[in-house]
Amino acid sequence: MTESTTRVAIVTGGSRGIGRSIASRLAADGFAVVVGYAGRKDLADEVVGDIETAGGQAMSAQADVGDEQAVTALFDAAETTFGGVDVVAHSAGTMPLATVADFDLAVFDELVRTNIRGTFVVAQQAARRLRDGGAVITLSSSVTALSFPRYGGYAATKGAVEALTLILARELRGRNITVNSVAPGPTATDLFFEGKDQDTIDRLAAQPPLERLGTPEDIAGVVAFLAGPQGRWVNGQLIRANGGII
């Protein structure tokens, strides 16, 4: 492993949606970025290509976030290629929707594995391996407070993410590592649009006082603030990035 003064960020779920925007923004801010992906290597490599075309440094790395060996290998790859890890932005997650009464428990178990276990596994490696002065940013969801029907399983996992994040911030006392969670509201991604008719989309877009859906770039800006020098006094917090919807 070569030592490097370049700040290095791992972005899980970095091949699309909010994670893709986070990876691009952190690269623009000078980070060498490891674009973590679950299955779409082609999309992750597109992100890497865009970053490199813009003059940045990036690599893609596959990892099932629920698999501790795969996540360990992800951190290994970051250290081997770029010299260490300073920031982890954990954006990987899934969002199957159903009422509590009708939720398939096999689907729920996979949801828990990805969103809760995956966050715990990534947080565990971050706690063990981040360089002092780093930052951990998890992604929650404003739906934990909005309480939309059919989001019960998803919101339950994101409540767990929030609890874990705030506790980890306190456990890392003495290392100058900040740990925060960003909770987007309705955001214009493929994951959000999936299964929604236009009336539902329009209704959700009209709810915030700013009267629009969020964009992945809106969320990436908040993450970049927390990852950068201006965000160093924000620690152990949940930040709702939702245009004022709640």
Task: Report if residue 211 sits inside a domain.
Answer: no
CATH number for 229: 3.40.50.720
Per-residue confidence (pLDDT) for residue 67, from 0 to 100: 98
Domain count, the chain: 1
The 8-class DSSP code of residue 117 comes to: I
The 8-class DSSP code of residue 130 comes to: P
Q: What tens-digit pLDDT sequence spans the chain (246 residues)?
A: 445 679 999 999 999 999 999 999 999 999 999 999 999 999 999 999 999 999 999 999 999 999 999 999 999 999 999 999 999 999 999 999 999 999 999 999 999 999 999 999 999 999 999 999 999 999 999 999 999 999 999 999 999 999 999 999 999 999 999 999 999 999 999 888 988 899 999 999 999 999 999 999 999 999 999 999 999 999 999 999 999 999
Task: Report if residue 208 sits inside a domain.
Answer: no
Compute the distance between CA of residue 138 and CA of residue 165 in angstroms, rounded to an integer: 7
Domain, as residue range, for 106: 8-187+219-241
Q: Are 85 and 10 in contact, with CB atoms under 8 Å apart? A: yes
Task: Report if residue 196 sits inside a domain.
Answer: no
Active site residues: 154
Task: Report if residue 101 sits inside a domain.
Answer: yes
Per-residue confidence (pLDDT) for residue 4, from 0 to 100: 60
Task: Report if residue 12 sits inside a domain.
Answer: yes
Q: Are 63 and 71 in contact, with CB atoms under 8 Å apart? A: yes
Task: Report if residue 100 sits inside a domain.
Answer: yes
Q: Are 156 and 166 in contact, with CB atoms under 8 Å apart? A: no
State the amino acid at position 197 in one-letter form.
Answer: D
Instruction: Please tell me the pTM assigned to this model.
Output: 0.96
* Max CA pair span of the chain: 53
Nearest to 245 by CA among 185, 202, 203, 155: 185
Task: Report if residue 69 sits inside a domain.
Answer: yes
Task: Report if residue 125 sits inside a domain.
Answer: yes
